[in-house]
């Protein structure tokens, strides 16, 4: 295993190159950027969109948080239950049905860009969008690997346990056991296609296995 320090610009270019190297098939290419909220997976996912479009690939920029389960279900065990955070938050069936399977090979050819507002807990009433040829779906989320999401390429933004603890606000300390379970049971640094160490947010490093 080799760890290569890279700039943010180089990191984006490397991920884009991996995406563009994948053959364009009958369905969309489904990319997931996963990481603890402090790693800002949404920032890397956002940064991929323009270079992909410049390369001629249409992009659907979506958020796992827009496919959380209803609050009555995801908070059934309480608002600060780490097991619920890991197990009950994402509507995996809904996200697969409305997006990932829908845009994949043999899918219906249209997708729902969002299902539920994570803040208001109300249905977004978003309209379906037709899949363009060569579409790349770019999702960001946390604790999203190993859940059965139908993806083609996964990127994990990795933190050492000490860094994760340091970056977690005191009010959110209850979430740490969820991330410890995630590391132990899912092994995101093993299952992800691309792993980026971001203990120093200004100096990411690509892990080459």
Q: What is the pLDDT of residue 30?
A: 98
Average pLDDT, stretch 18-28? 92
Cα separation, 9 vs 207, in Å, equals 16
CA-to-CA distance for 101 and 98, rounded, in angstroms?
Answer: 7
Total-model pTM: 0.95
- Domains of the chain, start order: 2-203 (3.40.50.300)
Contact (Cβ atoms closer than 8 angstroms) between residue 158 and residue 197:
yes
User: Residues 148-199: pLDDT tens digits?
Assistant: 999 999 999 999 999 999 999 999 999 999 999 999 999 999 999 999 999 9
Q: What is the pLDDT of residues 40-90, one digit of tens each?
A: 999 999 999 999 999 999 999 999 999 999 998 888 887 899 999 999 999
Q: What angle do CA 29, 32, 36 make, to 5 degrees?
A: 175
Tens of pLDDT along 117-151? 999 999 999 999 999 999 999 999 999 999 999 99
């Amino acid at each position: 295993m080799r760890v290569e320090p890279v700039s943010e610009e180089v990191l984006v270019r490397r991920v884009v190159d991996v995406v563009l190297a994948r053959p364009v098939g009958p369905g969309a290419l489904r990319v997931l950027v996963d990481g603890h909220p402090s790693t800002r997976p949404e920032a890397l996912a956002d940064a991929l969109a323009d270079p992909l479009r410049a390369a001629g690939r249409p992009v659907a920029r979506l958020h796992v948080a827009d496919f959380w389960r209803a609050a009555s279900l995801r908070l059934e065990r309480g608002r600060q239950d780490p097991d619920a955070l890991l197990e009950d938050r994402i509507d995996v069936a809904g996200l697969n049905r409305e997006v990932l399977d829908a845009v994949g090979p043999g899918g219906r050819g249209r997708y729902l860009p969002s299902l539920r507002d994570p803040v208001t807990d109300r249905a977004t009433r978003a309209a379906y969008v037709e899949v363009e040829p060569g579409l790349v779906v770019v999702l960001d989320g946390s604790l999203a690997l190993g859940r059965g999401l139908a993806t083609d390429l996964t990127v994990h933004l990795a933190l050492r346990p000490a860094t994760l603890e340091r970056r977690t606000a005191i009010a959110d300390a209850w979430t740490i056991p969820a991330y410890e379970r995630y590391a132990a049971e899912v092994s995101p640094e093993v299952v992800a296609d691309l792993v980026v160490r971001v203990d120093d947010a200004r100096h990411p490093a690509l892990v080459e296995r």
